[in-house]
Amino acid sequence: MDLVNTHCHTGFCGHAEGSVAAYVSAAKEAGLATLAFTDHFPLSDAFDPDGYLSVPRASMEDYKRDVLAAREENPKMDILFGVEMDYLGEVEDRIFSSEELDGFDVILGSVHFVDRWPFDDPAQRDRWEEPGAADEIWKRYIELWCQAAADAHIRFDVMSHPDLAKKFAYYPSFRLEPLYEQMAEAARAGGRMIEVNTSGSYYACAEPFPAPALLRAFARAGVPCTIGTDAHVPENVSRDIARGIRLMKEAGYSCVTVPTSTRDRRSIAIDI
């Protein structure tokens, strides 16, 4: 079956490494049929003063140029020009134009901030250690994630790493399964896709995003699923893709759904 990666980051983001060309070369060597570039959509200076988390606005045209050039030079690979865009909820301070967002083949929606706090930043993880913090953070994270997933006014094609709150292996005192059902319903209501993100296995949580129980909830709700490695260096462009597809199959999926450069979707039957 065709192998795909619909989530990766290049050196245009301050916290990633590697050129577009280096990613394409690694993807070709790994036999990938589809590669989506999804560098982080620019954040304001209030959220990203050093240009570490996202692509600076001044670099977006260079990012687009490099991705489109790679597409032109590699017609046998489906190369997508995309972004990962943070949902900030009530503290959103950017103004988006439909013309700007329509220029992307795929937009990943994500929640990295809980009321201005970047909860998955290793340098700011101390708040997780506070008494009762895990319960509060998980509840607020899932509330924001469901808002993002269900809001049809926002163009999020894929909701990425759905349970990112587990990154540092801090878990709430309550069962998450009932909230998993809420997340699945929100994604279904918003017409979103979700992803198996293989990078989770390399954090403290030691498993891909989402957890098996959450992935099963998405499958039961009929939410289409794609797959990405969330690579931040070219050598990880195909890391654990086959394993992630097997997890999809175990959860009840019979196909991998893939966004396309025409802003459509195609399905690849799971045969692995």
pLDDT tens digits for range 152-206: 889 999 999 999 999 999 999 999 999 999 999 999 999 999 999 999 999 999 9
- Take residue 102 and report the two structure tokens written for it: 């329509």
How far apart CA 237 and CA 222 sit, in angstroms, is 27
Residues of the chain with pLDDT under 50: none
Query: Could you tell me the CATH number of the domain that includes residue 69?
Result: 3.20.20.140
Q: pLDDT tens for residues 6-25?
A: 999 999 999 999 999 999 99
Return the structure tokens found at 78: 């489906």
Does residue 189 contact residue 150 with C-beta atoms inside 8 Å? Answer: yes
Looking at residue 91, its pLDDT comes to 96
Q: Which domain holds residue 214?
A: 3-269
The predicted structure's pLDDT at residue 272 = 81
Give CA–CA dist 228/240, Å, rounded: 9
In the chain, the number of structural domains is 1
Q: Give the per-residue pLDDT at 203.
A: 98
So what's the pLDDT on residue 98?
Answer: 84
- CA dist 106 and 82 (Å) reads 5
